[in-house]
Structure 1
Amino acid sequence: MATAIRRNTQWSESEWQARQQLAACYRVFDMLGWSEMIYNHITVKLPDEEGAFLINPFGLHFSEVTASNLVKIDIDGNKLDDNPWPVNRAGFVQHSLFHRNLPDAHCIMHTHTTAGMAVSSVEGGLRPTNFYACNFAGQIAYHDFEGVTVRDEEGPRLIEALGDKRVMLLRNHGILVMGRTLPEAFVKHWALQRACEIQVATAAMGTPIEVPAEVVAVHQRDLYMAQAHAEPGKADFDAMVRKVDRIDTSWRD
């Protein structure tokens, strides 16, 4: 992703780059139809500040997020800048939990897409019945719905349900993915969303054909050979940012 010249010296270069990448991601999500009014969240840890991460301003649509209006908060939800926008507690409680407890969860994405919510709301969840679903066989955690995620006491159950996985379907709720980088989380979300969309379409046509476990194993073993860059998701994400830039570059400010 091309990086614009830093326009505000109140932030370090590393923070400004993190802000631009995250703002671009919000615009990409909106372009792909993954917005949900003013709700849902994508967060990233700041590389040079222990326990600090960026989150979207509560009240803005994804299409309005920019590098400079992202809110910086600590792991306890305290603002670390003078940003006037509030933070959605439903986003803070869930994201801070994982940022606090999982060192490799650099980026966390949570959405309420129609397909993601639909698949999370059926018995069996995601089944290995299409190419993208086979990516995730044996790699998805599930957590039962307990209501809107605003209560800290749900945290231990979320952590227990996640275990050693970094992709979760929140039952009756939606998609949750994590990545060591934002592009890695992005390509996971994209593939999971595609898997869910295709499963919903397939279910409308008849009885789905499940891929045998031994074929799934070969598929997952060889997936890296279909990757365009050494960093998972980088080429995919950069392509989407270029497309966003042809529509609107205001996210860079």
Structure 2
Amino acid sequence: MSTTTFTITEPQPQSRIVKHLPVAEDTPELVKDIHVIPSFTEKEAERLWAKQHMVGAFRIFAKFGYNDGAGGHISLRDPVRPDCFWINPYAVHFKLLKVSDLILVDEDGKPLTQTQHKVNTAGFMIHAALHKARPDINAAAHCHSPYGRAWSAFGRPIEMLNQDCCMFYDDLSVYEGFGGVVLAKEEGERIAQALGPTRKNVILQNHGILTAGGTVDEAAAFFIALEQACQAQLLAEAAAANGIAKKFVGENEAKFTKEGSGSPAVMFMQFKPEYDLLLHETGGDFLA
């Protein structure tokens, strides 16, 4: 029996930025500085690395069942040209995407890379507005995932029901003005306004969920976590409807937990196990 060996290569960061909460002096060295975000000295290397992780996020979203026909999109601000961003081609299944399929567009929607595909109009309108309004946001993800879509029907934020929900303490908005499919610039701008100046996550009423981050890894990890939080909320609501009272995490505890479990570096590391597993399962076929 013949076997095929895959060699997976990624750009290697030249240095690392370490971000973590203060730790006690007696904390073992083994568990110090465990949350890291790679940093690059070469923008071209950072671009390739980020695009690989972007396509990895699409593949993982497909694996989790977030793909929904031609809908759904992730954007990535280009490290080389920050006024432009990468986006997925329209009507290509997330599971089939490769790095070479991504399209670089300018702020007017003009493709800057050769492609045989189109760009999702709604996707462009949403992401262009977000990247323009929030220079700190380098990536954003929006898909019509099942639980996020179901909970969005209530037009309410999730509650602090458990430790994982605390990732979204004071970091989640609700956009109440559903205006149909986002085909106009103004609708994208209203979604960006709902997100506000600092928050990275928003529930789009009657639509679904959208998450963002300084890295595509952070945005993807927030999306997965928010989808799971919406699932937990729906289950809790069903139990509460049968007379079981909900208990909530206190505000001080929720704030403290957010600082330890919902920071950019922690969310980056939350995505890492899924990305590493994807590399193992696929042999890195999406890196081309």
TM-score normalised according to structure 1 size: 0.88
Q: Which moved more, 1:158-167 or 1:88-97?
A: 158-167
Letter in 2 for 1:168: V
Letter in 1 for 2:248: V
Distance 2:50 2:157 in 1: 33
The corresponding residue for 2:237 is 203
Letter in 2 for 1:4: T
Deviations 1:150-169 (A, max 9, x none): 11122442233222222110
Letter in 2 for 1:46: D
Q: Does 1:179 align with 2:252?
A: no
Indicate conservation of the 8 Å contact 1:3/1:17, yes or no. Answer: no
Q: CA deviation at 1:175?
A: 0.6
> Aligned Cα RMSD in Å?
2.4
Question: Which secondary structure state, in structure 1, belongs to the residue aligned with residue 82 of structure 2?
Answer: coil
The corresponding residue for 1:154 is 187
TM-score normalised according to structure 2 size: 0.78
Indicate conservation of the 8 Å contact 1:38/1:62, yes or no. Answer: no
The corresponding residue for 2:174 is 142
Question: Which secondary structure state, in structure 2, belongs to the residue aligned with residue 68 of structure 1?
Answer: helix
Q: How many residues align?
A: 245
Q: Does 1:58 align with 2:114?
A: no
The corresponding residue for 1:239 is 273
Query: Can you give the 5+ residue segments of structure 1 that lack an aligned partner in the other structure?
Result: none
Indicate conservation of the 8 Å contact 1:130/1:199, yes or no. Answer: no
Query: Please, which of 49, 66, 82 is the counterpart of residue 17 of structure 1?
Result: 49
Distance 2:89 2:234 in 1: 32
Distance 2:206 2:165 in 1: 19
Letter in 2 for 1:48: V
Q: Does 1:47 align with 2:79?
A: yes
Q: Does 1:4 align with 2:37?
A: no
Larger Rg: 2
Give me the identity figure in percent.
26
Query: Can you give the 5+ residue segments of structure 2 that lack an aligned partner in the other structure?
Result: 1-6, 12-42
Question: Which secondary structure state, in structure 2, belongs to the residue aligned with residue 204 of structure 1?
Answer: helix
Q: Which moved more, 1:198-207 or 1:63-72?
A: 198-207
